[in-house]
Amino acid sequence: MSQNIKAPKKLIEVALPLDDINVASAREKSIRHGHPSTLHLWWARRPLAAARAVLFAQLVNDPGGERGWYAGKTKAQADEERERLFDIIRDLVKWENTNNESVLERAREAIRASWRETCELNKGKPGFDPDKLPAFHDPFAGGGSIPLEAQRLGLEAYATDLNPVAVLINKAMIEIPPRFAGHHPVGPIPDGPRQLRLDRQDWPGATGLAEDVRRYGHWMREEAFKRIGHLYPPVQVTAEMAKDSSNPRPDLKPYVGKKLTVIAWIWARTVKSPNPAFAHVDVPLASTFMLSTKPGKEAYIEPVVDGDCYRFIVKVGQPQDRDAANNGTKLAGANFRCLMSNAPISGDYIKTEGKAKRLGMRLMAIAAEGVRQRVYLSPTDAMETIARQAEPEWRPEGDVPARLTGGTCVPYGLEKWGDLFTLRQLVALTTFSDLVTEVSEHVKRHALTGDHCDEGKIDAIINNKNADGIAVYLACAVSRMVNYSATLCVWSSHPKDELAKQVFLRQALPMTWDFAETNPFSTAGGAFDINIQYLRKAIEGLPGFGFGNAKQEDATQVEILNRVVSTDPPYYDNIGYADLSDFFYVWLRRALKPIFPDLFATLAVPKAEELVATPYRHGNKEKAEAFFLDGMTQALEAV
């Protein structure tokens, strides 16, 4: 900062109501519906409450400043004024006040007052206009919490990041919503008893955008079902299933004669038995046989061996040997036992078979939608055959990172991104990705004709922006689906879950043995309809006003002039954002490259310039540390 610029001490340099900020930040972790984090997964998001509080404290002057504007105030007066600012922060960080205009305006006025004071101290100097707040810039924007809260507090928000997935998230949060401010939706209202038919005259903020995402998301889902719905058939419950004397299932009686929507197909990976007597048998690598551990409603898989064959039967109630059911065929670590002979199967043997592409999969159970509960059914040959009949026309290329802090599946032969998905998952994800581009063309047609828009025809320039904006959110819905549609998704039998878990339970891609293949056309977690609901609620909670801009730029090269800077820099060597982001990027690129050719120009997320200290990328720890420190120095010098 130039020596002739007078800078009053900021509140953040003196004190903060940290307890209130911490409580609000901790509470925010439990907020799922309506939280911006549900737009797209990011591995290191900052709590909105903390970002909002820090920005406010960074922008307002401390009343007890010993120089400049505040000279002459008594300590009592300064303390009283500081407490008033603390009260603003205490209200500001509460989740229920996220979009409370009364609370936000109090904060904005305090920011404007401090800026006017600063301008008065620097009267006549370039860049100090008391009628216009300085713009904000985050050069390591990541998940976008800080730029979003800067926009909410009334500043023009600029977000840059080298990672195109991060840039897309920031576009969805700060750049696109203001363009739709007050716009009526243009999409056709969906039919059906479960579809809302909204009749309203005004669409404040980004509510019109949220409604269009819902409408076109519904169209995508219906169109996808027309094309690939045959790969996701319902399961019919027969009287024989309920009355089987060898496996009584009284829980199935209410469903006899009904077709139930499948939530997930639960598979086990298989490997040839290392026992020579059963070397022709593909035996299961199952980490557990439990499907539900809810007291009184337990369900489990029982393997039945018959000669050199075996089958799986789903049973309800307590298993005779709970430990055996809990452990499946798994021993310690990545070691298993042969279901046919109990011979040990070592982790090294599994790795060898995996690298030779000899790992298979076997259907163990089916989880279906019941009346306020899950219904578990034994697998059928027909269900397994349908899954294997899927014929993907495309699969993502690129290498899965061979080294990650939290583990990787590469040693077991899952080396390319396409290896992480079943044939049916590849077909589904490709279909939904391609429909994103098709939706963009539909938006343009509907907006120009005015067939479904209360405002009539929309200007062609606005129309194109509408189409691109809606496509971004629908691509995010596909990303959410990808996170629940890989063979790295495990089935949780926990009483509070009974669902497929997402891939990224942590910042890693660890190997899984049994996995859940979700149905994108169900109404359970990971289904496309559910993803659209999350997106709609998140969009409605975005500010939808002001100005935002998100661009792909290297933090060491970006030029920042006359802007407030606040950022959360990379975590040294803790998280390889670029390596992890490729999991989503390969699908986002297929969906959005026609719309954002520059953002998705590369085959993978840029890695060479990423400011993280990863020894395997730079040769050794010393070189990685030098690269990180040099890069951070350049980035900070640009501020």
3-state secondary structure 6-30: CCCCEHHHCCCCHHHHHHHHHHHCC
Q: Which of 57, 66, 47, 50 is CA-nearest to residue 6?
A: 66
Confidence of residue 193 (pLDDT cuts 50, 70, 90): very low
The confidence band for 531, taking pLDDT boundaries of 50, 70 and 90, is very high
Which residue, 455, 40, 476, 463, is CA-closest to 217?
A: 476
Residue from 538, 603, 570 nearest 40 by CA: 538
Q: Which residue has the tokens 């977690």?
A: 525
pLDDT given for residue 68 in this prediction: 40
pLDDT at 461 over 80: no
SS3 of residue 319 by DSSP: coil
- Which of the residue ranges 308-312, 399-403, 494-498 has the most confident prediction, judged by mean pLDDT? 308-312
Quote the pLDDT of residue 623: 59
pTM comes to: 0.92
Closest CA to 362 of 527, 242, 487: 487
Tokens 């008594």 correspond to 74
CB 330 within 8 A of CB 271: no
Residue partners of 584: CB distance under 8 A and separation at least 6: 40, 41, 165, 479, 482, 483
Q: Beta strand pairing status for 336-337 and 157-161?
A: unpaired
Q: Place 1 in a pLDDT band, splitting at 50, 70 and 90.
A: very low
* Greater pLDDT, 446 or 70: 446
Contact (CB, 8 A) for 381 and 387: no
The CA–CA distances, whole Å, from 376 to 60, 132, 267, 320, 321 equal 58, 62, 13, 18, 19
Query: pLDDT tier at 189 (50, 70, 90 boundaries)?
Result: confident
Closest CA to 136 of 570, 544, 541, 548: 548
Helix (H) or strand (E) holding 224: helix 207-228
Asked whether residue 198 carries a pLDDT value surpassing 90, the answer given is no
Q: What digits encode the pLDDT tens for the residues 556-594?
A: 788 777 889 998 887 656 567 889 999 999 999 999 999
CB 571 within 8 Å of CB 44: yes
> What does the DSSP assignment read for 417-482?
GGGGS-HHHHHHHHHHHHHHHHHHHHHHHHHHHTTT-TT-S--HHHHHHHHHHHHHHHHHHHHHHH
Residue 118 has pLDDT above 80, yes or no: yes
pLDDT computed for residue 566 by the predictor: 92
358-364: average pLDDT: 98
CB 491 within 8 A of CB 515: yes
Mean pLDDT of 387-411: 92
pLDDT at 454: 47
For the record, the structure tokens of 239 come out as 């009287």
Q: Which helix (H) or strand (E) holds 272?
A: strand 262-272
- pLDDT > 70: percent of the chain: 88
Instruction: Decide if pLDDT at 222 tops 70.
Output: yes
Token pair, residue 101, equals 């205009």
From CA 458, how far away is CA 487, in angstroms rounded? 44
Please name the residue that has the structure tokens 């820099």: 569
Sign (positive or negative) of CA dihedral 616, 622, 623, 625: positive
